[in-house]
């Protein structure tokens, strides 16, 4: 019923409907939102056979069309993956409500009181690739944060996404929340149209390749929460503990090389270069990492040459470039020149060197003696990750529910007017925090 | 010396120089920044005769060119205005340092500790109109927040701005801070070039007309802190105290009609319309406010008709449109349709109506029983106002120094790697706030 209604609406009308529904959702207390999330989880459980059948049809079509094995792996939804995703929905229900938090509470003058209170953004536009499990995760995060959401999934996953959204609507229909808070777009043309809807959509979250994120940023006036490249470094200082540094290098490169928080370049202080590199090389090569070095590295190791292009390349693969640097300042300079401001680490036992690195490196994450792979919302204790932002303005780095809310200033007075506080006889403000 | 060096640089080279200088500034403690601000204040005092002479030359040229009287008033810098601006510089020195504040302090696991710490954005690009006093205010705010700044002033004020920046450079030359943190552009062509420098500039702050702000937003990938329209409303509820409501209406419209936080439209509940409008009209007309009403208003008042266009017009002048509405919901709906999400007020003694208005109206400021003119960084107790943002993502509303900083996540470990926390034998995180 709902799906067919939606199909007959133009995209702006659909977005307006979502905004209307989201306005009601925005004012609901945490309990109502948590009940709705539980209703969604139950409806997904009931609809599991239907969802799995839809996914099987998507998978069959995808195989016929010959999609890549990695895309297929993301598309495929089996019973255990669906169960885990539903458990994830319930996890979101247990997170603290990000809405209604009083950030500032201040008396401006007697009887004139200001509160800054967190509130939902409004409507999110989320564009993602094949993975249908994103539908469940994003819908629950949107509802928890009091926002409507317009989802645009990959074409390959269209049957799965439709079955999932149908179940979500069935669940929401049992609750106070209008099912129109969650909408699904299914055609590629709608992506561009969505990016133009700045009147109804408050934040775009693109989940996909770097080039896709950049395309989105260049084609919308709506704020975008997304990261472009992840070019991360590990700098092995002359004060490093070699054993720790090798373990961190191996983990940062190989624990999940396709991740944006994996390192692409190793910077090594000249005084420790021989000792460290001879130790690290065997450990890295044992994990099948291809090494490329600058001239000073190649004077120590018999590896291929790194070119200028290597310093600004995100390999997303088992490849690592290595450069020997004169000192800490040269390492910081290299990182601030070539890094993508994502996550940067120093291995050192020298607290002064660490402090300088953490202060001077310009990145969302600056680490001492640990792997860059810790850059993640779950690992930071945010409970859920909306995305990782490499923009400099907040929200920056791994973003939890906090990235889906904003705030408003509420002031209550008793007939207070500004003229009282202006001119030669201006009354002073009290500005007393309560 | 410095000015002539700058003149010989290309804009990208100049911006790179500012970024380098800003990187050093970013790590300085509050005392160093405060000393620099005091040095600037003293240098401005010493250079006062030179600054006033430069401004007199600007004013003479502007008069010859026949600029408007309001622009001339903003351009003109006399001794008392300069004194006040220098006092404003010293005020910024006394504000709390927005940099280095620990926002999160959390143990992720034993020996693995995360801090989220506020830090400067980097380099600001500020484009403003005639008013030369903006140079002093913005430079001190930038230094206090640890940022470099590239200023682009109005062509009319070029001599004044040059004299001011020369004094600022003289002051900074006595301190730890590289004078290159403050740069001045003087030609119109450089504005567009500045907007393209996303590699070196982290935030653009346009100060000017709505159409100029929109032009900037449409021509840059750099985040923009700025507001477009200010279409604010006062809704007079049936539960309003008429005396208070009239005073708030008059203040909100007339205390400074050109301000973005002045109201453009008055919404009045039908049950109170006659009584309120007959009282308010004389008070508004005594202040020379031109009134335009919808049909129901004109059944009460003999005034001109408001057209559909009036509801979405920012008059910035002594004009006020009036609409009679059926109820609170209709008022909220009108505001959420036509308002610019700036500042919206309700006059009512009914706490339930006020709560609904504050919760459901989508705006940066939602007020009960006070003037919309309170929407201002100084009045909110922020000490200084960087600007007012009508964007929905934070920073929203009046923005203080907080809008000029971001944060980074610092993690220190002891050789911790992500592999320890992954897979079937994953170690759990402790996630304990410290």
pLDDT digits (tens, 9 = 90+) for B396-417: 999 989 999 999 999 999 999 9
Which residues in A lie closer than 8 A to residue B375 (C-beta atoms)?
409
* Angstrom distance (rounded) from CA B113 to CA A46: 42
Report the residue of chain A nearest B217, measured CA to CA: A221
Q: Is residue A336 part of a domain?
A: yes
Residue B3 scores a pLDDT above 70 = no
- B374 interfaces chain A, CB cutoff of 8 Å: yes
CA A152-A165-A181 angle, 5° bins: 80
Which residues in B lie closer than 8 A to residue A406 (C-beta atoms)?
392-394, 396
Q: What is the pTM of this model?
A: 0.91
- B369 interfaces chain A, CB cutoff of 8 Å: yes
* Angstrom distance (rounded) from CA B335 to CA B367: 13
Q: Is residue B413 part of a domain?
A: no
Q: Is residue B407 part of a domain?
A: no
Q: Is residue A7 part of a domain?
A: yes
CATH of the domain at B59: 3.40.605.10
Beta strands B112-120; B405-416: pairing state: antiparallel
CATH of the domain at A246: 3.40.309.10
Among the listed residues A298, A318, A381, the one whose alpha carbon sits nearest the alpha carbon of residue A95 = A381
Find the CB nearest A419 among B251, B363, B421. B251
Q: Using pLDDT thresholds of 50, 70 and 90, give the confidence band for residue B7.
A: low
Domain span including residue B53:
2-218
On the 0-12 / 13-18 / 19+ scale of CB atoms within 10 A, A171 is buried
Same domain, A201 and A287: no
Residue B217 scores a pLDDT above 90 = no
Would you call B367 and A411 a contact, using CB atoms and an 8 Å cutoff?
Answer: yes
* Angstrom distance (rounded) from CA B181 to CA B178: 6
Report the residue of chain A nearest B223, measured CA to CA: A393
**ipTM, two decimals:** 0.91
Same domain, A170 and A253: no
* Angstrom distance (rounded) from CA B404 to CA B395: 9
Same domain, B161 and B241: no
The alpha helices in A1-132, defined as continuous H runs, are 2-7, 11-26, 30-46, 48-65, 69-75, 79-94
Q: Is residue B388 part of a domain?
A: no
Residue B2 scores a pLDDT above 80 = no
**Secondary structure of residue B397 in the 3-state scheme:** strand
* Pick among B411, B421, B422 to test the A interface (most A CBs inside 10 A): B411
Q: Is residue A407 part of a domain?
A: no
Find the CB nearest A408 among B202, B364, B391. B364
Report the residue of chain B nearest A24, measured CA to CA: B360
- A337 interfaces chain B, CB cutoff of 8 Å: no
**Chain B residues 291-310 with a CB less than 8 Å from chain A:** none
CA distance B38 to chain A (A): 25
Instruction: Report the mean per-residue pLDDT for chain B.
Output: 93
Find the CB nearest A411 among B251, B365, B391. B365
Q: Is residue A265 part of a domain?
A: yes
pLDDT at A2: 46
What is the domain count for chain B? Answer: 2
pLDDT digits (tens, 9 = 90+) for B293-310: 999 999 999 999 999 999
- Indicate the residue among B325, B358, B374 that finishes a domain: B374
- B393 interfaces chain A, CB cutoff of 8 Å: yes
For range B169-173, the mean pLDDT? 98
**Chain A residues 94-153 with a CB less than 8 Å from chain B:** 106, 108, 112, 114, 121-122
Same domain, A43 and A11: yes
Task: Flag residues of chain A having pLDDT under 50.
Answer: 1-6
For chains A and B, CB pairs below 8 A equal: 213
Buried b (16+ CB within 10 A) or exposed e, A255-266: bebebbbbbbbb
Q: Which residues pair with A126 in a beta bridge?
A: A151, A205
Same domain, A110 and A192: yes
* Pick among A96, A347, A417, A420 to test the B interface (most B CBs inside 10 A): A417
Report the residue of chain A nearest B390, measured CA to CA: A408
For range B384-397, the mean pLDDT? 88
Q: Confirm if A167 and A47 have CB atoms less than 8 A apart.
A: yes
Same domain, B245 and B190: no
Q: Hey, what are A213's tokens? A: 């994120």
Same domain, A74 and A202: yes
pLDDT at B319: 97
Q: Confirm if A167 and A51 have CB atoms less than 8 A apart.
A: yes
Q: Count Cβ atoms below 10 Å from residue A276 Cβ, excluding itself.
A: 25
Same domain, A203 and A301: no
Same domain, A79 and A16: yes
Find the CB nearest B359 among A27, A380, A429. A27
- Indicate the residue among B336, B357, B374 that finishes a domain: B374
Which residues in A lie closer than 8 A to residue B373 (C-beta atoms)?
417-418
The alpha helices in A66-220, defined as continuous H runs, are 69-75, 79-94, 133-144, 158-173, 189-195, 210-218
Would you call A417 and B379 a contact, using CB atoms and an 8 Å cutoff?
Answer: no
Find the CB nearest B431 among A370, A381, A417. A381
Q: What percentage of chain B reaches a pLDDT higher than 70?
A: 98
**Chain B residues 217-246 with a CB less than 8 Å from chain A:** 217-218, 221, 223, 241, 243-244
For range B370-382, the mean pLDDT? 94
Residue B223 scores a pLDDT above 70 = yes
Would you call A112 and B370 a contact, using CB atoms and an 8 Å cutoff?
Answer: yes
pLDDT at A71: 84
Which residues in A lie closer than 8 A to residue B394 (C-beta atoms)?
394, 406-407
pLDDT digits (tens, 9 = 90+) for B10-58: 999 999 999 999 999 999 999 999 999 999 999 999 999 999 999 999 9
Same domain, A125 and A241: no
Would you call B381 and A108 a contact, using CB atoms and an 8 Å cutoff?
Answer: yes
Which residues in B lie closer than 8 A to residue A379 (C-beta atoms)?
108, 418, 421, 429
CA distance B415 to chain A (A): 5
Would you call B122 and A392 a contact, using CB atoms and an 8 Å cutoff?
Answer: yes
What proportions of chain B, in percent to the nearest 5, are helix, strand and coil? 45, 20, 35
Report the residue of chain B nearest A354, measured CA to CA: B412
DSSP string covering A128-148:
--S-THHHHHHHHHHHHTT-E
- Indicate the residue among B334, B356, B374 that finishes a domain: B374
Which residues in B lie closer than 8 A to residue A416 (C-beta atoms)?
369-371, 374
CA distance B381 to chain A (A): 6
- A421 interfaces chain B, CB cutoff of 8 Å: yes
Would you call A380 and B221 a contact, using CB atoms and an 8 Å cutoff?
Answer: no
pLDDT digits (tens, 9 = 90+) for A284-327: 999 999 999 999 999 999 999 999 999 999 998 999 999 999 99
Q: Hey, what are B10's tokens? A: 């290309």
Q: Confirm if B249 and B346 have CB atoms less than 8 A apart.
A: no
**Chain A residues 51-90 with a CB less than 8 Å from chain B:** none
Would you call A408 and B379 a contact, using CB atoms and an 8 Å cutoff?
Answer: no
Region of A381 please: left (phi>0), alpha (psi -120 to 50) or beta.
Answer: left
* Angstrom distance (rounded) from CA B210 to CA B201: 22
* Angstrom distance (rounded) from CA B104 to CA A356: 20
Same domain, A202 and A260: no
Same domain, B201 and B265: no
* Pick among A412, A422, A429 to test the B interface (most B CBs inside 10 A): A412
Report the residue of chain A nearest B414, measured CA to CA: A369
For range B348-377, the mean pLDDT? 97
Residue B147 scores a pLDDT above 90 = yes
Report the residue of chain A nearest B383, measured CA to CA: A431
Q: Is residue B211 part of a domain?
A: yes
């Amino acid at each position: 019923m709902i799906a067919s209604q939606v199909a007959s609406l133009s995209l702006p009308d659909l977005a307006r409907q979502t905004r209307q529904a989201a306005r009601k959702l925005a004012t609901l207390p945490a309990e109502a939102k948590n009940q709705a999330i539980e209703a969604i989880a139950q409806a997904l459980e009931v609809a599991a056979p239907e969802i799995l059948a839809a996914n099987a049809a998507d998978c069959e079509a995808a195989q016929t069309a010959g999609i890549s094995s990695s895309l297929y792996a993301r598309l495929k939804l089996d019973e255990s993956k669906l169960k885990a995703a539903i458990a994830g929905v319930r996890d979101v229900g247990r997170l603290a409500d990000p809405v209604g938090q009083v950030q500032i509470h201040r008396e401006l003058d007697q009887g004139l009181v200001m509160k800054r209170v967190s509130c939902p953004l409004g409507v999110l536009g989320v564009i993602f690739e094949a993975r249908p499990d994103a539908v469940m995760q994003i819908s629950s995060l949107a509802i928890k944060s009091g926002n409507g959401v317009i989802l645009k999934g990959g074409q390959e996953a269209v049957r799965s996404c439709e079955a999932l959204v149908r179940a979500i609507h069935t669940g929401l229909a049992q609750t106070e929340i209008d099912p129109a808070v969650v909408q699904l777009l299914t055609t590629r043309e709608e992506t561009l149209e969505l990016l133009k809807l700045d009147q109804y959509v408050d934040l775009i979250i693109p989940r996909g390749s770097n080039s896709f994120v950049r395309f989105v940023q260049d084609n919308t006036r709506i704020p975008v929460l997304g990261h472009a490249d992840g070019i991360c470094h590990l700098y092995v200082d002359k004060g490093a503990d070699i054993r720790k540094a090798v373990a961190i290098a191996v983990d940062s490169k190989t624990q999940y090389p396709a991740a944006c928080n994996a390192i692409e370049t190793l910077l090594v202080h000249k005084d420790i270069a021989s000792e460290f590199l001879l130790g690290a090389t065997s450990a890295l090569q044992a994990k099948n990492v291809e090494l490329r070095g600058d001239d000073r590295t190649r004077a120590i190791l018999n590896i291929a040459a790194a070119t200028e292009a290597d310093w600004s390349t995100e390999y997303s693969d088992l490849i690592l470039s290595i450069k020997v640097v004169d000192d800490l300042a040269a390492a910081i300079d290299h990182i601030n020149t070539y890094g993508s401001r994502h996550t940067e680490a120093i291995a050192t036992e020298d607290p002064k060197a660490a402090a300088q690195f953490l202060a001077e490196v310009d990145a969302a994450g600056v680490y001492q003696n640990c792997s860059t792979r810790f850059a993640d919302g779950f690992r930071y204790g945010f409970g859920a990750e909306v995305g990782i932002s490499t923009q400099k303005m907040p929200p920056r780095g791994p973003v939890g529910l906090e990235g889906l809310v904003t705030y408003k200033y509420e002031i209550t007075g008793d007939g207070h007017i500004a003229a009282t506080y202006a001119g030669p006889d201006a009354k002073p403000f009290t500005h007393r925090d309560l």
